[in-house]
Amino acid sequence: MKIVRSISEMEALTTHLKEKDKRIGFVPTMGYLHDGHTQLIDKCNEKSDVTILSIFVNPLQFGPNEDFERYPRDEKRDIEIAKQHQVDYIFMPSKEEMYPNESSVKLYVKDRVNVLCGKSRLGHFDGVATVLAKLFHITKCDLVFFGLKDAQQVAVVKGLIDDMNFTVELIPVETVREKSGLARSSRNVYLSELEKNEASAIFGSLNYAKKLMFDGENNPVIIKRKVTEFLEAKIKADIEYIEIYNYPALKEIEVINERIIIAIAVQYKNARLIDNIILDKDGNLPHSFI
């Protein structure tokens, strides 16, 4: 495994790999790796000749009151995990390497952002799209792997790839969960043991929504009301939203007659948790998520 910290070196390496007709898989992360990330890496290894992992806490996607400085970081641990999972290259640039000057161009994401987490994080997905455009060029990847825990991000990245004509295939990977059902997240370290146990009810409420749909309920208003009542009875945290949209367009619907996402955000004292489930119109997991 090789650690690369400069853009020029990474570009030279990927140019050489492309000349050798290697299929490059790419897993972009902000580090503090957990089982969700390693599942992406393992899937990348299955489908690619070469696996590139990036670790870069991207300042462009943090708002003024968000947790950029306190975002968990552990470079030594991340390197060891990457080795254990047969990563070929870690691209680990500094902020100064990625953004040496004030950017003259930034991407603006118009659709799929004014709902769910994007509604309260203005500019967040502009930062995601901007850094990914750079990383796609630097890594020259053929495949890119994202976890469906942040399904809104997957939808936005799909739009970026399609609209900007990137020759990269997006591979969405299902959410990795703890035994309790809680979605794995770098921010779970901020939960107390009591909060962590309680938060398993988030996935329970998504399964309740799935059952409602499977039993024939197709009115999103009724489903949201019943799921809200279910979750309020289980947790003490603030429920930020429980929403249902079509997917990946993320538009409001009056009747569930297509693929949808049911998404939840919950705010604990020191951690904001998100989770979701994507279903077809009958309440089943779809064959394709995008």
Residue 137 designated active-site: no
pLDDT band at 76 (very low <50, low <70, confident <90, very high): very high
pLDDT at 113 over 90: yes
Shortest CA distance to 262 belongs to which of 248, 280, 281, 242? 242
Q: With cut-offs at 50, 70 and 90, classify the pLDDT of residue 68.
A: confident
84 marked ligand binding residue: no
The confidence score (pLDDT) of residue 71 equals: 84
Instruction: With a cut of 90, say whether residue 38 has pLDDT above it.
Output: yes
Res. 58: pLDDT tops 80:
yes
Q: pLDDT per residue over 180-222, tens digit each?
A: 999 988 788 899 999 999 999 999 999 999 999 999 999 999 9
pLDDT above 90 covers a percentage of the chain that reads 87
The whole-number average pLDDT for the span 220-249 is 97
Average predicted confidence (pLDDT) for the chain:
95
Q: Rg of the chain over CA atoms, in angstroms?
A: 19
pLDDT of 219 reads: 98
The whole-number pLDDT of residue 206 equals 98
DSSP state, residue 24: E
Q: How far apart are CA 126 and CA 60, in angstroms?
A: 8
Both tokens of residue 38?
Answer: 């390693």
AA identity, residue 135:
L
Does residue 137 register a pLDDT over 80? yes
Q: Is 116 annotated among the ligand-binding residues?
A: no
- The answer, yes or no, to whether residue 253 has pLDDT greater than 80, is yes
229-256 per-residue burial string, b: 16 or more CB within 10 A, e: under 16: ebbeeebebebbbbbbbbbbebeeeeeb
In angstroms, the CA 191 to CA 193 distance is 6
Ramachandran category for residue 134: left, alpha or beta (phi over 0 → left; psi -120 to 50 → alpha): alpha
User: How confident is residue 51, by pLDDT bands cut at 50, 70 and 90?
Assistant: very high
147 is in an annotated binding site: yes
Q: Which one of 3.40.50.360, 2.40.50.140, 3.40.50.1970, 3.30.1300.10 gives the CATH number of domain 186-279?
A: 3.30.1300.10
Q: Does domain 2-173 have CATH number 3.40.50.620?
A: yes
Q: Is 186 annotated as a binding residue?
A: yes
33 labeled binding residue = yes
| CA gap 57, 61 in Å, rounded | 9
Q: Do domains 2-173 and 186-279 have the same CATH topology?
A: no
Q: Output the CA torsion sign for 152, 156, 157, 162.
A: positive
Banded model confidence at residue 151, pLDDT cuts 50, 70, 90? very high
- Does pLDDT of 264 surpass 80? yes
Domain ranges of the chain: 2-173, 186-279
- List 16, 37, 85, 287, catalytic entry: 37
Distance CA 278, CA 266 (A): 18
HSE-up of 257 (CA within 13 Å, CB side)? 3
Residue 80 host element (H or E): helix 75-84
Predicted TM-score (pTM) above 0.85: yes
The annotation status of 61 as a binding-site residue, yes or no, is yes
